Amino acid sequence: MSDSPLIRYVLAGAAAVAVVAGAVFFVERGMAPPASQAANPAAPNASANPSTPPSADDQAGPSAVQNDQLVSLVGEARRLAAAAKFEEAEVALQKADKVYKGWPEIEKARTEIAQMRTPEGQLKTQLDRARLAIEHDEKASAEKALAEAERLNPQAPQIADLRQQLKQAEQKQEHRNSRVAELLTKMREDIARGDFAAADGDLNAAERVDVQDPTIRDARRELARAREAKQKEQKN
């Protein structure tokens, strides 16, 4: 019976270990998330309505085909407005609205055209048209635009300035015409002497003075025929 205290001591120690192990087991179980939570991670709010249409800011821009149509229609509207066809210009913009409502260039063009419809805007259009025609030596177009500008506002100071520019352009054109005629006369004298190299030089000089002069094209054909005739004569 001397072993009885030792046995009781061992049994008590084993029981204590069992109690501690059980406590650890339950603590760990208490810290773990519920099985349903672990299996189902947080999901988006199911109450959101997927059928709600996106706001205007979220919409995609026009497609490539729509973009081409929009550019064409807005450009047509601006051309029509420049020709004072304002009602037709608005029709073109309305067609653009049907292709893609809210495209920024549509409203920009509409604002510009509204300004062009005012007396001040129409005057500016005619003055710009006259200025461009003068720069391109288009006397008839410049005169027409200036006459329309005078009808809109005969007191506009820009009209007198543009008329002076037109007069100076006409004087320069007259000088160019005179110089071209002089060089072509010299070319023909060179042809008569059989000096085709000199004739070429005179014709090239005339082109540098005014390449748009139609008499130069005629003179080049004339020089080619004369050279060909001379070559045939030499062969015979």
| Structure confidence by residue, pLDDT tens digits, 11-62 | 445 444 444 444 433 434 444 444 444 444 444 444 444 444 333 455 578 9
State the chain's mean pLDDT as an integer.
81
Q: Both tokens of residue 1? A: 């019976």
Instruction: Give the model confidence (pLDDT) of 126-149 as tens digits.
Output: 999 999 999 988 999 999 999 999
Q: Both tokens of residue 199? A: 């004739």
- Concatenating the DSSP letter of every residue in 116-185 gives HTSHHHHHHHHHHHHHHHHHTT-HHHHHHHHHHHHHH-TT-HHHHHHHHHHHHHHHHHHHHHHHHHHHHH
**pLDDT class of 235 with cuts at 50, 70, 90:** confident
CB of 127 within 8 A of CB of 156? yes
CB of 141 within 8 A of CB of 129? yes
Burial (Cβ within 10 Å: 0-12, 13-18, ≥19) of residue 17: exposed
Instruction: Give the model confidence (pLDDT) of 77-105 as tens digits.
Output: 999 998 889 999 999 999 999 999 999 99
Q: Both tokens of residue 86? A: 């304002």
pLDDT for residue 60: 74
Q: Which residue has the higher pLDDT, 9 or 228?
A: 228
The domains of the chain are located at 63-171, 174-235
Q: What percent of the chain has pLDDT over 70?
A: 75
pLDDT for residue 59: 56
Q: What is the pTM of this model?
A: 0.52
- Concatenating the DSSP letter of every residue in 176-229 gives HHHHHHHHHHHHHHHHHHT-HHHHHHHHHHHHHH-TT-HHHHHHHHHHHHHHHH
Question: Within 10 Å of residue 16's Cβ, how many Cβ atoms?
Answer: 10
Q: Both tokens of residue 11? A: 């049994």
d(CA 112, CA 135): 24
Q: Both tokens of residue 97? A: 């609205």
